[in-house]
Structure 1
Amino acid sequence: MATSQELVKRWLDSSATNLRRAVTGWLIYGEATPPDLAQVDGLIDLRGFTPVDPHYFGSRSRDAASDARGGILTVRDRTISRVDLSGARLQNTRMENLTLENCRVDGAYLGGSAFRSSRISDSSFVRARMNGSLLSGGEDGPTIWEHVDFGLSDLRQSFATGGIFIGCNFDSVRMKGFRFNQCDVRATRFTGVMLDVLFDGRPLRNAPASQPLRDVDFSAAEFDGVDFRDCEFDGVTLPGGHRILLIDNFPPVAKRPYELASASNSQYARGFKLRWEASVKAPGRAAAVGVEFLGEYTNPELAAFSESLLRKAAEQEGAQVTYIP
């Protein structure tokens, strides 16, 4: 079996220059599939592929010329099916209105890339390096990720705005700083450490309302700085070990704990108010759930004080409280 270095090297050999140009042209412009490509497991074998410099294609269209001057490889308005791009070098690539289906992109280098108004389905991105990437955005609609395996991939400091994730697997993904902004996440599983990950459901002006998190399984995840802002839950399973308080129909409750703390003489009131100010300022959707991680408090007395205020505020508003130890 060829090593990853050997798979890359075969494309960089001078004898492969014409084939590299042909494959790059096929990816960008939909030219005829080069006839000399082998197959692996029923997929077109582009493992380790490294495209030619985009400047080579810069004169073919106004858009391509603009992209090429910036040294950007752009795959636009294309359907790519049954291709193995494992280990491919595709850093800083733009995907716009791309349909990618039944493909293997395991271990590919995609750092700094952007997926705009695209659809990726029934594909594998296991161990892909996608740090600093945009997984959804674009004027023509969201990017849809359906039945995609991101297992063990690198998604640090990446984000998706308005993205749709259906039946995806985020197994032990490195995702420090990932932002799910107004995303629709359904029937998706997360495992492993989730560090500083944000699920932001706050409504944006002139944008569709964020959808609830539906049938999302976090039971095998380890939260560390995970934040749910103005999110609705529908069949969400959270992990144990974090002492989580869930408060249904949270917006009417949000100001109550702050008011109770302001009227309290407890030495912990100020610490609670500082922590709670962001929740008070949140716009608030009627069905949003409040999520408080009592296990994140370094001071157990402050945690107990906070829990008592939250429970009292919820009782005053008739909101249901669920405790996950």
Structure 2
Amino acid sequence: MNKQISAAPKTLSFNFLKPYLFLLPIYILMIVFKYFPFAMAFGKSFFEWNGTNVNLFIGFANYKKAFADPSLRASVINCFWMAVSNVIIVLTIPLLAAELLFALKSAKGQYMIRTAFIFPMVVPIVVIILLWKWILAGDNGVFNTILTRIGLPQLTRPWLGSSKTALGAIIAIGFPWLGIAGLGGLQFLLYYGALQSIPKALFESAQIDGVNTWRRFFYIDVPMLASQIRLTVTLAIIGAVQVFDKVYILTKGGPGTATIMPSVVLYEQGFTYKKMGYSSAIGVLMFIVILALTVVNQAVMKKTEHMD
């Protein structure tokens, strides 16, 4: 009897720990490849460090340098416009596409159109970026060629080579923004899935009361999509602060500082000029900005949700 009683707590203890044992490899990988590098970067941000033999403690000098860096200031302004554009994009076109698809009566038609919308998401992002680099090329690009063929040669220009159009061209990559998972495709799926989960009784009641499409959208769909909207806006802001691949592949931050982004400054300072300590400081500042913007966005969206 005593042996059975003593064995029971051991069994309960093992059953309690078993799920965490399955998650242990994930925790280890996160600690090794995420938390440890971040802790190391935070520590090295207080050093003049070139990644190899130079490792001198300089306190907050890297942070002071970051606030005085003109290229970093320019990147913050570009990042702001990128964030605003991303938020506008995820709140309009993916939501509109999800609403139009949800309104389609044919289940087979919904499946076919949904598949056509999300199929481009399987294409690697680098392939999409290089394709758009060819489309927007200034000399023999597809876009300029089309403008010339339709009789509008005066509108042709080096879209990625002009400081007036380069940032806008980068923001417009992937139009209509459903082929890139990070800015359109993922948001489209979130909105569409949330619309499908809304109880049909709400739509039936609205139809009986004579509610038109626009009133249903603003008074039923949008409030029920509040959680998804909050998530998509947060992801859009984070994506704008962290954007690197599009900018570096297309323009490397040029011409001048027209498309420079914090991530590009971080990369160049760390891997081109071997200022790893200064690069780490920029990375820490980016983390603080992302954290602050995420907290503010969550608070604002929750307040709006409670008001509704």
TM-score normalized with structure 1 length: 0.19
* Bigger radius of gyration: 2
Higher strand fraction: Structure 1 or Structure 2?
1
Higher helix fraction: Structure 1 or Structure 2?
2
TM-score normalized with structure 2 length: 0.20
